[in-house]
Structure 1
Amino acid sequence: MIVRNEEAKLQRCLSSVAPYVDEMIIVDTGSTDQTIAIATMFGAKIAHYEWINDFAAARNYALSLSSSRWNIVLDADEYIEQFDVEAINQFMQEHRAVGRIHRISETMEENEHNYTSDYITRLIPVDHRFKGRIHEQVVTDLPRVNVPIVIQHDGYLHLNKSDRNIPILQLEVRANPNDPYYYYQLAKEYKGIGQLSESMALFEQAISRLSHKERYAPNVFVEYMYVLQKMQQYEFLIDMISSPPNCVHGFADFHFACGVICLDVMISNPQKYMSLLPLIEQSYRRCLEIGETEVYDTVRGTGSYAALYNLGNYYEVLGQEAEAIMCYQSAAQQGYQKAKLRILDLTRE
């Protein structure tokens, strides 16, 4: 791990990982709180590293201190929820791949908690290293395989890290002017702080460089669509929904965005955009056909309970209460609290 001023979350992380590791290596980049004291309490090997705005460099220094054949790399705002010891031991013994662990990130958007699901390469042999100043990636020729480790992550729940991230991402864009990944990450940072014109321009730079074979390519288009929605670029959005790129066809988040955006566009001018009404139902039905996935980085629920809930809203507006309740009940059975509350409201009316 690399850390700096993580006293609020470090103990949670180290407690969660302690049962599964032979040693803990903590590289501190300038803490002024109780971070080092907490790491010492857990018997961690502690080293110091001068921060140079380069996450890969700091991670690689930490890896250089390891005496283990395999390493799991974590951040302080993450903690292990599930770890299949037998399966992981077998995976490491075979030594034919690097491990992608399942990360579930909690975020807050428009006063609602969301959970994004992605798989990140974090279980690696001792000779592997990272590259990239930020959003760093493992350099490897080995296949990347999903392994049965699940971590929770809440680092972006109440924190805005754009002041730190944007300057580093700008350096990466200048150093890698043809790499769409850094334009995409920088676009998301500007979206997060509400600078939508800058975000839109960067998304367009990313899209112009995509081969559409990148694993994250569908996410670029979906994030771009939500920026266009906020900027009320409705005609452009309708064109995208009508003729989407091939890479998004099997991505539930794209079809979910189509449903949300079609409703928004239609409400803006019902007389002009009433023809979009059937697309709302079609979009959410397509989400449910695709279902939840491990193929893409996704917002949880877009292929299940959230799509069902929005489909219920659609039927309710049309006066089809029986269909709406069926959707809400299905979403409620999957634990979606908003659906449970909506069923209660309808039964009271």
Structure 2
Amino acid sequence: MSLNKYVVAIPSYKRPTTLKNKSLRVLQEHNIDPKRINIFVSDKEQENIYKKELPNNSYNKIIVGEPGIKNIRNFMPKYFKEGQKIFYMDDDISEVFQNFNQNKVPNKLNKNTYDKKYNKLKKIKNLHNFIEEAFSLAKKKKMDNWGVYPVENPYFMKPTTKEPEDFTSTYLSYIIGFMTGVINNRKEEIRTIDDKEDYERSIKYYLKDGGVLRFNNITCRTNCYKEPGGMQVERTKQRIHDSAVYLTKKYPQLCSLNTKKKSGFTEVRLKDKRENNNNNNNNNNNSNYSYSNNINKPETKIIDLSKPSSCKMKIKLKEHKKITMKKPNFLNNLMRQLKKKTKLKEIPKKNLPIRKCGM
């Protein structure tokens, strides 16, 4: 396949029926050429099972990779050429949605009148066109990784407008692996963990390009953690937790642990906390950040011995506070004048009326 044309890569494990009824069905409904579609399985036995279950005309190839999510994720980019456009898709995608506000597509989002409660998801009309446009915008922004909103919740998504800046972001964000596009870069695609590998890739592409492109108006329907087969066969809460901890230790300035999710699984929060970082403000200017020199180095505090001791410094700060808390002269004068005007005249006791009470 030409580097200018995207290919579809679907990793799947022990669920050919799910693949046939969900992701392959979605691709067929959107008339995506089966010659683009490549299915990756763990071993020869799985290859034979999938070939029996899937119609021959529904895909291009079934490729035997390596068992384990980390291993298959590392295998797929090696299979394709460097620079190849790859559209990765999980095997259990039952629908792709696009978000709209009041069923309209305005030229630009009016923040003064925009109300989230009128957001509504609709089935995307043309998945192929979206994939092409996503790769085109990613190339324009010089970013090799793009993705979609990770949760099927229109309220928190952005509505579609004619201005891409309204619904796309390029700051450090989670590019979920169930539907994502990359310009194949084998170095950045290397995974070192079996879970949270999507977070690892998001971070690596972010560091390489200074951003990752996310379409916050597009999402998918999937049964993550619940669909039988697939990663769930070997996935455990402990392994998920260990992978999350590993990431936060390797990239302490880019991610932190989130252990309060309703699912009970340990998750990861992404945020670039490094100094002089402007990309988290969602400006789309590309900056190539270097992170390798900062990884795993503790922050050092420089003590200037020429400065006074902490006790003396506290005294100075208190004095400074007293000075700054004083009212300006004009306010003091104004208060004096008001007191003079409102002050009651004191009446001598001898002039006070004496009330006589009857017996």
Structure with the greater relative contact order (CA < 8 A, sep ≥ 6): 1 or 2?
2
TM over 0.5: no
TM-score under structure 1 length normalisation: 0.43
Greater fraction helix: 1
Structure ID, larger Rg: 2
TM-score under structure 2 length normalisation: 0.41
